[in-house]
């Protein structure tokens, strides 16, 4: 099996210098001043993506992080990496049509779920914990449903189990679906074009004091045309018919000031999953970055809850 970190070790890659970032996590100050370097890896028969593999303590459970829409793996999760890596082997990668992720002709949630299994195979994780944020939480649900024997547990953050409930939501997603079908060819071409103009690896050596510049560069790696098609695909997702049959340890982090995904629907989702434990983060939908001091402690507790039940 290919070692996705071999290139980094051969090049002497370490944590790259970055702007110091201070967060108050559970009453203590954590200083994040370095970013783990990753590498491009080949998922056999699927394509290439950017992957970061942080070893964590010896014998620690593997935690695969799945990011949200219109972001990248590192942009979504970097405030939590230092804390998570104290207890877990942490693996994160750019999903299809995002960042340095696979530039496929279509965006399909089943493909994203199968990519997760391919990543687990590549890094040698037989039953990892999957932690998904927003879109990543939907992918985590789908992986646990389709490949239950390959999932140790799930942590669902700021996410939902369906989108088309109210009349307004049904109208919005019907429109996005129609637009997505009409522009699918354009979307795939724009996604491919965006990928062609990206550097070989993400630029993770941040200029001191310019974290915003790095964040903008990460967001520019995502095609707006592609995201319109992705929204149409996500709008059709509905796990209500099978969510209650999941048999993996689960935890749900509910963002209680979320205006993108209704709080009551996050709660409904949690109550549908047998044995799911609920953790609250008094923050909005972008809590993973903009309110990390509130979100990360809830994430840590949720991951610990699942790990204890493996």
Written as one string, the DSSP assignment of 160-227 is: -SBS--SHHHHHHHHHHHHHHHHTHHHHHHHHHHHHHTS-SS----PPTT-HHHHHHHHHTTS-HHHH
Burial of 127 (0-12, 13-18, 19+ CB in 10 A): middle
Mean pLDDT in residue range 63-85: 94
Is there a contact between 179 and 230 (Cβ–Cβ < 8 Å)? no
pLDDT in tens, 194-243: 666 566 667 654 444 456 777 777 777 777 767 788 888 899 999 999 99
Strands 89-93 and 153-157: unpaired
Q: Going by C-beta distance under 8 Å and a sequence separation of 6 or more, which residues neighbour residue 261?
A: 134, 158, 159, 160, 255, 285
pLDDT in tens, 232-283: 889 999 999 999 999 999 999 999 999 999 999 999 999 999 999 999 999 9
- Has this prediction a pTM greater than 0.75? yes
């Amino acid at each position: 099996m290919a070692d996705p970190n071999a290139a980094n070790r051969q090049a002497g890659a370490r944590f790259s210098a970055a702007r110091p970032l201070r967060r108050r996590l559970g009453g203590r100050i954590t200083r994040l001043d370095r970013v783990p370097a990753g590498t491009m890896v080949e998922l056999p028969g699927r394509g290439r993506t950017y992957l970061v593999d942080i070893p964590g303590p010896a014998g620690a459970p593997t935690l695969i992080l799945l990011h949200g829409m219109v972001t990248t793996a590192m942009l979504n999760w970097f405030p939590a990496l230092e804390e998570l890596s104290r207890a877990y082997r942490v693996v994160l990668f750019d999903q299809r049509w995002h960042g340095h992720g696979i530039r496929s002709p279509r965006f399909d949630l089943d493909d994203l779920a199968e990519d997760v299994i391919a990543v687990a195979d590549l890094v040698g994780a037989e039953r990892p914990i999957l932690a998904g944020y927003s879109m990543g939480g939907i992918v985590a649900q789908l992986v646990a449903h389709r490949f239950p024997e390959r999932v140790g547990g799930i942590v669902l953050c700021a996410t939902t189990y369906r989108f088309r409930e109210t009349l307004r939501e049904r109208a919005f997603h019907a429109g996005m679906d129609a637009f997505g079908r009409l522009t699918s060819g354009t979307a795939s071409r724009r996604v491919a074009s965006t990928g062609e103009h990206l550097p070989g690896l993400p630029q993770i050596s941040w200029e001191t004091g310019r974290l915003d510049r790095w964040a903008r560069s990460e967001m520019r790696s995502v095609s707006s045309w592609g995201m319109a098609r992705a929204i149409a695909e996500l709008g059709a997702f509905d796990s209500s018919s099978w969510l209650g049959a999941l048999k993996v340890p689960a935890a749900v982090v509910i963002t209680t000031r979320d205006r993108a995904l209704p709080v009551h629907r996050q709660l409904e989702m949690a109550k549908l999953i047998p044995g799911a434990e609920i953790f609250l983060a008094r923050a909005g939908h972008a809590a993973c970055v903009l309110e990390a001091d509130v979100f990360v402690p809830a994430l840590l507790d949720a991951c610990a809850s699942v790990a204890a039940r493996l």
